[in-house]
Amino acid sequence: MEINYKSGFQVPEPSSRPGDTPNFSYLSLPSPLDSVRPDTSCKASEMRDLAYGLVRVLDDSGMAVGPWNPNVDAEFLVRGLRAMEKTRLFDERMMRAQRQGKTSIYVQCRGEEAVSCAHQMALEKGDMCFPTYRQQGLLIAQDFPIVDMMCQIFSNAKDKLGGRSLPFFYSERDYGFFSISGNLGTQFIQSVGWAMASAIKGDDRIASGWIGDGASAESDFHAAMVFASVYQPPAVLNVVNNQWAISSFHGISGGAEANFACRGHGFNIASLRVDGNDFLAVYAASSWAIERARKNLGPTLIEWVTYRAAAHSSSDDPSKYRPDNSFDLWPLGDPILRLKNHMIQLGIWSEEKHQALIDELTLEIKEAGKQAESFGTLGKGSKPSVSEMFNHVYKDMPAHLRRQRQKLGV
């Protein structure tokens, strides 16, 4: 056999590095008019194309068009815009607080606000999200008291989690927000288990699992896909492809060879690839998948194409591995700007109204921040009692732990 050897070993490389002009030519942008919206009862095998396309609603002129247009009313749009803007301003303030030493670490979701906010607005009370650390929008879109979030971030005495957990690892059962884990991916299969339980009980609550592009390489992703395929539980499985996993671009998790939506095809799971910076597309696709799950028609895998506009976390410096201005050139734009422009196009919004919104939210966050800080910040002011670290290891404290606590004298 005559064989021509191609040489060596392949390691994928992002299209641009510090010093380069950001290059996003790898992303093709179909028009919202080109996509198809199948019925929620569509067989997964009949909608494979959707994983290779991009569900969009907002066109270049900022109008809502095409089959996925959810046709929501003005009040809904204002709520969505408000949730996104509040999330962003909250993040900014917390980031500053971190810089001032008021907490140990902070993680923003800048650029990805539409994904969590619009998704949340499609969920119902009783549904359960299994988020990562970058879905604070799920809480904020429900008007969760941000002062409580801040108290946890500041690890003060009002931190409901008693200082035990990392600052932004919220757990809010009543808000359908599962306890965040620091171990990437683990919650993805847990969401499938929760959905299986819902199906076993004949309940109509659905689970929404979350994972990042990077973390989708973890084993838990596979387990979630296998179990979702086998038991067809009412779950929506969200992959937030924000293009980066700390310093590694999506190609390092296999996102250059293939995308993340098409991972579902190997399991015959309905798969959507969606413009995650298009608030209306996120809402529409979420609603589709949620309806499908609630009708018990099967799970859906959704790839949200978005961009991590900020650093990975307060400990990270992205200028070390990607061009500084990459978000400015990101072809899907800024989700807040895009919704705002749409609303201005519709004639229901203006720059003035937007400024007023920002002012109002800024004030609200500032007040909340003051209040939270008045209870203390990391290591300053009131703090969770030391004995809290011995609580909730077990339901009832076993003898050996009680002895350890007593020895410490707390």
Partner 1 sequence: MATMNMLQAIRDALDLKMADDDNVVIFGEDVGYFGGVFRATDGLQKKYGKNRVFDAPISELGIIGAAVGMGAYGLRPVPEIQFADYILPAYDQIASEAARLRYRSSGEFFAPITIRTPCGGGIYGGQTHSQSPEALFTHVAGLKVVMPSNPYDAKGLLISSIEDDDPVIFFEPKRIYNGPFDGHHDRPVVPWSKHPASEVPEGLYRVPIGKAAVALEGSELTILAYGTMVHVAIAAAQESGINAEVIDLRTLLPLDEETIVASVKKTGRCIVLHEATQTSGFGAELATIVQEHCFYHLEAPILRVAGYDTPYPHAQEWDYFPGPARVIDAMREILETA
Ligand X SMILES: Cc1ncc(C[n+]2csc(CCOP(=O)(O)OP(=O)(O)O)c2C)c(N)n1
User: Which residue ranges make up the site for Mg ion (CB under 5 A)?
Assistant: 212-214, 242, 245
| b/e burial code for range 36-69 (CB count within 10 A of at least 16 → b) | ebbebebebeebbebbebbbbbbeeebebebebb
Q: Select from Mg ion, ligand X, partner 1, none the partner in contact with residue 134, using the beta carbon and a kind-dependent cut-off of 5 to 8 Å.
A: ligand X
398 forms part of the interface with partner 1 (CB under 8 A): yes
**Positive or negative, the Cα torsion across 145, 146, 148, 149?**
positive
Contact 210, 245 (CB under 8 A): no
Residue 202 Cα distances to 22, 48, 269, angstroms:
50, 29, 21
Residue 275, helix vs strand vs coil: strand
Beta-strand (E) ranges in 95-182?
128-130
Of the candidate residues 102, 205, 263, 342, the single one contacting a copy of itself (CB under 8 A): 263
Residues that bind ligand X (CB under 6 A): 132, 134, 182-184, 212-215, 242, 244-246, 308, 312
**Positive or negative, the Cα torsion across 211, 212, 218, 223?**
positive
5 forms part of the interface with a copy of itself (CB under 8 A): yes
Of the candidate residues 1, 73, 125, 173, the single one contacting partner 1 (CB under 8 A): 173
Q: Select from ligand X, a copy of itself, partner 1, none the partner in contact with residue 333, using the beta carbon and a kind-dependent cut-off of 5 to 8 Å.
A: none
Q: From the CB of 288, what's the least distance to a copy of itself, in Å?
A: 11
Size of the site for a copy of itself (CB under 8 A): 47
Nearer to a copy of itself, 165 or 271 (CB): 271
Contacts of 85 (CB under 8 A, 6+ apart): 113, 336, 357, 358, 361
Nearer to partner 1, 296 or 345 (CB): 296
Contacts of 232 (CB under 8 A, 6+ apart): 199, 296, 298, 299
In the region spanning residues 145 to 174, those forming contacts with a copy of itself, defined by CB under 8 A, are: none
Of the candidate residues 29, 33, 258, 337, the single one contacting a copy of itself (CB under 8 A): 258
For 301, the enclosing helix (H) or strand (E) is strand 300-305
Stretch that binds partner 1, among 58-66, 73-81, 165-173, 268-276 (CB under 8 A): 165-173
**Contact positions vs a copy of itself (CB under 8 A):** 1, 3-12, 196, 199-200, 202, 204, 217, 219, 221-223, 225-226, 229-233, 251-254, 257-258, 262-269, 291, 294-297
